[in-house]
Amino acid sequence: MSSQQHTLELAGCMPVPLAHYLKALGVLRIVGVSEPSAAGWWKHDRFFLRSSYDCASLCNFFLNSYRPTPLVAPWNGGSGFFPNGNRRAINAISEGRAKRFQPYRALIEQCREVLRRLDLAEKPTGRAKLRLLQICRNEFPDEMVSWLDAAYVLTAEGLKYPPLLGTGGNDGRFEFTNNFMQRLTEVFDGETGTALPGMRESLEASLFGAASRSRSRAAIGQFDPGGAGGANANAGYDAPSDVNLWDFILMLEGTLTFASASVKKLETVAMGALSCPFCVRPIGVGYSGAHLSDEGTARAEMWMPLWDDPAPFSTVSRSFSEGRVDTGRRQARNGVDAARAIASIGVDRGITAFQRFGFHQRNGLSHFAVPLGRFDVRSIPSVEDLLAPLDGWLDRFRRAATSKTAPARAGRALRNLETAILDLCRRGEAQDIRTVLIALGESEAAVAISKTLRDGELGNAVPPMPLLSQAWIARAIGRNSSREFRLACALASVTHERVGPMRRHFEPIDDKLWTSRHPAEPEWAKDTGDPNVVWSNWELTRNLGAVLCRRLVEVRRSCDRQVNAPTLMPFRGRVAASLGDIHAFIEGDVAENEIDTLLRGLILVDWSESDPLSGNDEGIPSGGIDVLYGLLKLCHLEEPFDEIQVKLSPEVTRNAVFGRAPAATRYAIRQLRASGMLPAFDAIRATSQRTRRIAAALTFPVSDGSKWILKHLVIRSAELRS
Amino acid sequence: MWEVHPERDAILIGTHDSLLSRALNRGHAISRYQWPVYFSLLNNDVLWAIDDTHLIGPGLATTAQLAGLRSKLGTVGRCHTIWMSALLDESAIKTVDNTKEASPTRVHVLDAMDYATADLQRLQTAAKPLMQSGLSLSSESADTYAGDLASQIVRAHLPGTITLAVVNRVERARKLYEAVNTEQRKSSSEAELFLFHSRFRTKDRHSTQSKAVNETSLPPAGRILIATQAIEAAVDISATTLFTELAPWPSLVQRFGRCNRRGQCGQGENSPAQIIWIDVSTEEKTADDVARPYRRGPLAAARVHLRKTNDVGPESLRRIDHREESPVYPVLRRKDLLELFDTTADLSGNDVDVSRYIHEPDDTEAYVYWRSWDLKRQRSAPPAPKREDGTVVFPSALQDELCSVSIAALRGENGFLKKARDLVWTWNPLLGDWVNVGPTDVRPGMVLLAHTSAGGYERELGWTGDSESVLRASEIAIDAEIIPRANEQLNEDDLGSAPTTLGQHLKDVAEQATRLSRTQSLEDEGIPWPAIIRAAWWHDIGKAHRTFQKAIHRDRRAGESLDPMETWAKSGTSRQLVYSTPEERERAGFRHELVSALAWLNKHDRTPDTDLIAYLIAAHHGKVRFSFRSMPNESSDKSDSNRTLARGVWQGDSMPEVVIENGDVSPAFEVSLDVMMLGERSGRPGWLSRCLKLLLAQDIGPFRLALYETFLRVADWRGNGVGGCP
């Protein structure tokens, strides 16, 4: 070994499959034991190692000097410590005299002594197993504590297994430590410890990706789905597993990096959180072929960090052992949270990307680490500001929507929502915000329609979604907004101090939300048969017409109580629609479906914060203005304007909504005259269809400038002059 | 204030809970930023004497491991441990790092000479006749139990003597106390009655419990004392009549020790001692709850002994051969200790719980104190601790108003926190705000503030958990005793008593460090004083950062401006500084010591002690230690969201030149947060790598490193005139 530093590209160590990622960490760990300053990093999907070793001396080190970490699991039936397991390898190691296996022999002996002391002749269960696990943790040599902490965690709530090592170094019928010993005895002579023929070649293949013929039919377990064999794994029907022995050895050496730090595991973690490094609960979204049903059979997800500055093993393992992903002030619970954490604070440690793996059950009982895509770390700070206030609701919704009794619609909505959040975390564009908004609206609708979800069982009720902040709008607009988005905003911003916001026509909301003096959180209305919920699956025009009629009834009823108040339209909007956009709506030049879906999300926003009637005023539109619209709008103003105060007349509204232009015109002109104004025409013809659209357009709030234009269009100029 | 004088001798007396949690760097009910100070002082140059070791469960192995690890990892000064017990099993203190070979122990027992003395003879032969009560505790008898036992107690009580009744749970003790009270009124007994358990505020315990155990002031009618196992340790009282529920054998032995303790019962005119034990059902199914907090096995084992004997005096006890399978407790390993060294707060608010190394698993505690405030405030939260002008309006908990409460009583569906929704709060130092505590949020060792209307406590009964028990206003009065430092728990920085320039302050602190280095008791211990003194010269350089200077100038009241040409270290007021940059961007949680450390690293790389000095500088408030990162309440640079930031410091911030009086110069530079990264940047190792190197270094290690850290903090306190050291 010279003091000269070499940087080696380990082309055999890539972030995918998981086995190769772990192999890289295994190499860094083993080299780091004898050379603490050795450092490793990832670049261009390869692992780089800087140490005093060059290619040849690194191989020599592994072939001649490497002392395998004595991985044992005397609590597992197949560990080799009990009669029913395969004992060939463990006996070869413990009876051999190879110097490199000396620590292994010592630990095997220590295990046997403990098993004798506890009088355990077969695999322990229950309390006896807990006792054994605790004694191992208490008495094993210091170097082995990391192995135990990677394999199991004893918490106040009981025994927990970090998913990386299955259930304590065992997955189904595959026992990791026994296989590790078997691979070791296939690589080294148990008696002398010398490497067997062909092992240099396969080591070079494992480290540097050189082609090698010496692969084995041994099993590799969950870490390399491609190499695990099975049906359709290869040409032909059923391929044997195809594994480089060194890959398996180095990979298991690498798992020790993920020892849960005692510091973290001693915490009583909040419900639903796993206390293992970079582990979160699985969610079935965000990758091709994703399905919610993956969640049921998946054990967990791991988000493996990739970093591109040289770091020594001690630092890597310390960072990993505390490596939990936090979103804001709470620990990430699932993949969506993890993505959010990365979008908000991932940049702090110079981690460039995370490789996402899911431990999914395939081929019967075994789990496979399925790569689920790469997440580049970029700071998207607004994500947290937007989503954090919704955490409580999202948790509840997720719990309810994934329960057995939940309606399928809620499950779909949840999936869309989580996919949208993942995309937002990756890109952070205005379009992504809009998609999340739509998905939120869809989710809320799924809850509102289902009594099961609203009422819940065992305290699992899902309340209405809390009001979203104005920041959602600011971020969703982006550089250019669509006509549909602008119109939907205008509609969503409609409110009235007595009749309430637009949202109440979509779902039964308790009127405390707008009548209470103090800011209140939305709650479900006690009376679920609320007649104000008029929005349904009809086309947009019909829904808007229904809203118009309903609000008319409501405002008249509330005005009955206040005798002297003039009855005006309860359509005060915080955001005005431009006449141009309204014209396009009347002409049918907008995607109504899009307005509908956007509206469902936008009604959740707290519009009271926005500037009143901001923006969207562009004067007389090039396409002109429909006179009928002008006439009817003057009869549906929400407040007196420029001395015009037209009393609300149900006949006008009803006839318009039902598409009867002549009748609507007649009544409208009568109303205007009664208010002392002379319209410039007697009758206006329009098709029934068009009249309905015009009636629907009355719901859009307009600016004072627009009202002025409408007034000039409709009222005789002589009247105006006088 | 003993911690301000590490050079002096000090004797500390504490419970195993408070001392062991401090020795593990997670001191219960103290500020997390103080943890390293106690950790260092309790693990260097220290003699631990641990009494009644058989009562501290997992704590015993922890003391042994700490002893072993201190000798393996190295300390300043020598450290020894004395374990004292009537039932010490030597093998229990032989752990993986405290082996016979590595740390040989000497065993001291009473020898023949000792036994020959008359006093000891009397104690050894003291008679303690034992009989079983007709009562027994089971799920069926639970309802009538307290009343029945109360009448037995009142009947058995002898005037002029003490009767002690020990039950296994606080709740039962409280019920029994009330039942005895009723019974006494019926039989017009005038014996004094006291309740003794651990769930009291310190000040209440001191005032009533010292009376309860004072044998010199015994009234003619005598005294009845209802207690829990809290009486088992460190209480010197001799009862004539003892009632005890069945308990594990070591506990029973302790309880028997509280009867005829001086061997004088039955001598002369004294009434003879009597011990009555009450069986506790250990049958299957329902018995788990009755047996709590103990397990059924040890209770059954103890019952076998009790049934075989009719006396439990010391001589009789010696004949009883007690063996039981000792429980396997978690043992603190080297890896755990090294991980506990870092005290960086967890963002999700999960504080680390070391109680598994201190307590039995279901015996964990949090601390509650009660105050009153206006609930009409926003969110009904307690007031902010300080007014704008810096006066303290709502001091943090005073140690003597804390009441320890078991976590089990707080959590869960029927727990206190569920009932007292929105009325229980905790201070989050990272956010600088009160945070509401719900049933799932509570963690062992947490300090909780409850509104008095939440109830849960009565002065006479202690913790009840009952919303009907409400403290009166006079019982929670917080008055003139409040000093500005009462808010230290809330983790604010000391801004000095008078305006001080940076140059002057650095000089003051360096001088204090130098003075400390010359103390006789600290000489010749291999302490790297030059490094500590150098760190003192540099420790507050970061205050030259314009964010800090801006804040300190803004802090002055109108008409009292500081000279703008000077660089200031202390404003002399006690207001909280508000940090923002000249562009008025908020820099929440700005930490000047981080900038100081970065300034040091900017000038020095690869020189000897570079990393040690950098670490000491950063850690001098206990807030920036092993890792630092951006906080959730920090706002980022809007124009460049990928600009790294941490603790109010931004990549590329410019720092002015600072000339230090010792001849060092910190040149003007642009702050680089590259050290925060996992890997090295431009060939310079990351912060964590540097810290780990110190932690793992043979000649430093965790104990010494923490002590060096404390020395600098002490010098800083003294430089500020804290603790009577001008």
Residues B627-643 have pLDDT tens digits of 887 776 677 776 777 78
Query: What average pLDDT score do residues B118-124 get?
Result: 87
**CA A80 to CA A282: how far, in whole Å?**
32
Residues 678-707 of B with CB under 8 A from A: 678-681, 686, 688-689, 692, 696
Q: pLDDT value at position A566?
A: 56
| Cβ contact A326–B352 (<8 Å) | no
Q: Would you call B678 and A316 a contact, using CB atoms and an 8 Å cutoff?
A: yes
How far is residue B371's CA from residue A105's CA, in Å, rounded to a whole number?
62
Asked whether the predicted pLDDT for residue A219 surpasses 80, the reply is no
Measure the CA–CA gap between A312 and B678, rounded to whole angstroms. Answer: 9
The residue among A51, A139, A268 with the most chain B CBs within 10 A of its CB, best to mutate, is A268
Q: What is the mean pLDDT of chain A?
A: 82
A520: nearest CA partner in chain B: B379
Give me the mean pLDDT over the A16-32 stretch. 94
Residue (of A287, A289, A293) closest to A335 by Cα position: A287
The span from the CA of A267 to the CA of B426, in Å, is: 17
From the list B348, B352, B689, the residue facing A263 with the nearest CB is B352
- What's the whole-number mean pLDDT along residues A268-289? 58
SS3 per residue for A260-301:
CCHHHHCCCCCCCCCCCCCEEECCCCCCCCCCCHHHHHCCEE
pLDDT, residue B373, reads 82
What is d(CA A49, CA A47) in angstroms, rounded to the nearest whole number?
Answer: 7
pLDDT of B627 reads 82
> How confident is the model over B642-669, as a mean pLDDT?
92
CA distances to B517, B695, B707, B718 from B525, rounded to whole Å, are 10, 19, 12, 22
In chain B, what residues touch A381 (CB-CB under 8 Å)? 636, 641
* DSSP codes joined into one string, A119-155: T-SS---HHHHHHHHHHHHHHS-HHHHHHHHHH-EEE
Confidence grade of residue B161 (pLDDT, cut at 50, 70, 90): very high
Q: What is the pLDDT of residue A330?
A: 58
Q: Which helix (H) or strand (E) holds B318?
A: helix B314-319
Model confidence at B529, pLDDT cuts 50, 70, 90, reads: very high
Chosen from B335, B431, B682 to mutate, greatest number of chain A CBs within 10 A: B335
* Chain A touched by B188 (CB under 8 Å): no
CB A245 within 8 A of CB A251: no
Q: Does B636 touch chain A (CB under 8 A)?
A: yes
Q: Buried (b) or exposed (e) across A672-693, using 16+ Cβ within 10 A?
A: beeeebebbeeebebeeebbbb
Segment B44-56 shows an average pLDDT of 91
Q: For A153, list phi and psi in degrees, rounded to 5.
A: -135, 125
Of A138, A156, A269, the CB nearest to B350: A269
Dihedral sign computed on CA atoms, order A516, A521, A526, A530: positive
How far from the centroid of its chain's Cα atoms is residue A281's Cα? 11
Q: Which chain A residues are closer than 8 Å to B443 by Cβ?
A: 267-268
CA A478 – CA A658 distance, rounded (Å): 38
Does residue B429 have a pLDDT over 70? no
B96 close to A (CB below 8 A): yes
Q: What pLDDT, in 10s, does the model give residues B73-111?
A: 999 999 999 999 877 678 888 999 998 887 788 888 888
Cα gap B487→B493, rounded to integer Å: 10
Mean pLDDT confidence for A679-694: 87
Q: Determine contact: B644 vs chain A, CB below 8 A.
A: yes
Mutate to test the interface with A, among B338, B348, B430 (most CBs of A within 10 A): B348
Q: Strands B192-196, B223-227: parallel, antiparallel or unpaired by DSSP?
A: parallel
pLDDT: which is higher, B40 or B553: B40
Candidate ranges A95-109, A445-459, B100-114, B262-276; pick with highest mean pLDDT:
A95-109
pLDDT band for position B434 (50/70/90)? confident
Q: Is B340 an 8 Å CB contact of chain A?
A: yes
Contact B678 A262 (CB under 8 A): no
Look at residue A291 in the predicted model and tell me its pLDDT. Answer: 62
CA B388 from chain center: how many Å?
31
Pair of tokens at residue B90? 């030597």
Distance (Å) from the alpha carbon of B439 to chain A's nearest alpha carbon: 11
What's the mean pLDDT when you consider all of chain B?
A: 85
Q: What's the complex ipTM?
A: 0.85
Q: Say which of B334, B351, B644 has its CB closest to residue A347.
A: B644
Instruction: Give the model confidence (pLDDT) of B568-620 as tens digits.
Output: 888 776 666 777 655 556 787 789 999 999 999 999 987 889 999 999 999 99
- Cβ atoms < 10 Å from Cβ of B462: 25
Report whether B171 contacts B195 (CB < 8 A).
no
If DSSP states are collapsed to H, E and C, what string results for B377-423? CHHHCCCCCECCCCCECCCCCCHHHCEEEEHHHHCCCCCHHHHCCCC
- What is the structure's pLDDT at B482? 45
Q: Is the pLDDT assigned to residue A266 strictly greater than 50? A: no
Query: Taking CB atoms and an 8 Å cutoff, what residues of chain A touch B636?
Result: 379, 381
DSSP state of B207: I
CA nearest to B376, candidates B422, B416, B429, B417: B422
A156·B630 Cβ contact <8 A: no
> Chain B: residue nearest A309 by CA?
B679
Angstrom distance (rounded) from CA A241 to CA A234: 10
Touching A: B residues 347-406, CB under 8 Å: 347-354, 356, 361
How many Cβ pairs closer than 8 A exist between chain A and B? 143
Residue-wise pLDDT for B466-520, tens only, equals 888 888 877 776 643 444 443 444 445 666 667 889 999 999 999 999 999 998 7
Contact B443 A262 (CB under 8 A): no
CB A218, CB A229: distance < 8 Å? no
Residues of A in contact with B340 (CB under 8 A): 262-263
Does A326 contact B689 at a Cβ distance shorter than 8 Å?
no
Contact B690/B466 with Cβ under 8 angstroms? no
Cβ <8 Å between A330 and B348: yes
B426 inside 8 A of chain A by CB: no
Contact of B91 with chain A, judged by CB distance below 8 Å, is answered with: no
Reduce the DSSP state of residue B625 to 3 states and report it: coil
pLDDT of residue B555: 63
Phi, psi torsion values for A8, nearest 5 degrees? -110, 135
Specify the DSSP class assigned to residue B340. Answer: H
pLDDT of the residue at B399: 74
Neighbours of B39 (CB within 10 A): 27
- Residue B393's Cα: distance from chain center in Å? 25
Q: Which of A513-522, A546-555, A662-671, B173-182 has the lowest mean pLDDT?
A: A513-522
pLDDT at B356 over 90: no
Tell whether the model's pLDDT for residue A574 goes beyond 90. no
Residue B166 identity: V
Lowest mean per-residue pLDDT among A538-552, A652-666, B89-103: B89-103
Structure tokens given for B333: 């390993």
Q: What is the DSSP letter of A221?
A: G
Phi-psi region of A244 (alpha: psi -120 to 50; beta: other; left: phi over 0): beta
Work out the minimum CA distance from B215 to partner chain A, whole angstroms: 42
User: Per DSSP, what are the bridge partners of residue A355?
Assistant: A304, A374
Answer yes or no: do A137 and B331 touch at CB < 8 A.
yes
Q: B336 and A270 in contact by Cβ < 8 A?
A: no
pLDDT in tens, A293-326: 666 666 678 888 899 899 999 998 888 766 555 5
Contact present, A170 and A85 (Cβ < 8 Å) = no
The Cα of B368 is separated from the nearest Cα of chain A by a number of Å equal to: 19
Is B430 within 8 Å of B11 (Cβ atoms)? no
Give B376's pLDDT tier (boundaries 50, 70, 90): confident
Contact: A156, B680; criterion CB under 8 Å: no
Q: What is the pLDDT of residue A41?
A: 95
Beta bridge partners of A305: A354
* N-terminal to C-terminal alpha carbon distance within chain A: 104
The residue in chain B having the minimum alpha-carbon distance to the alpha carbon of residue A333 is B348
> Is it the case that residue B404 has pLDDT exceeding 80?
yes
Average pLDDT over residues A499-511: 89
Cα A379 from Cα A385, distance rounded (Å): 13
Q: Percent of chain A, pLDDT > 70?
A: 81
Contact A147, A71 (CB under 8 A): yes
Q: Which residues contact B228 (CB under 8 A, 6 or more apart)?
A: B166, B167, B168, B169, B170, B173, B196, B197, B198
pLDDT on residue B632: 67
Verify whether the Cβ–Cβ distance B353 to A267 is below 8 Å.
Answer: yes
Higher pLDDT, B248 or B365: B248
d(CA B594, CA B617): 8
Least CB–CB distance from B678: residue in A264, A268, A315: A315
Model pLDDT, residue B592 = 93
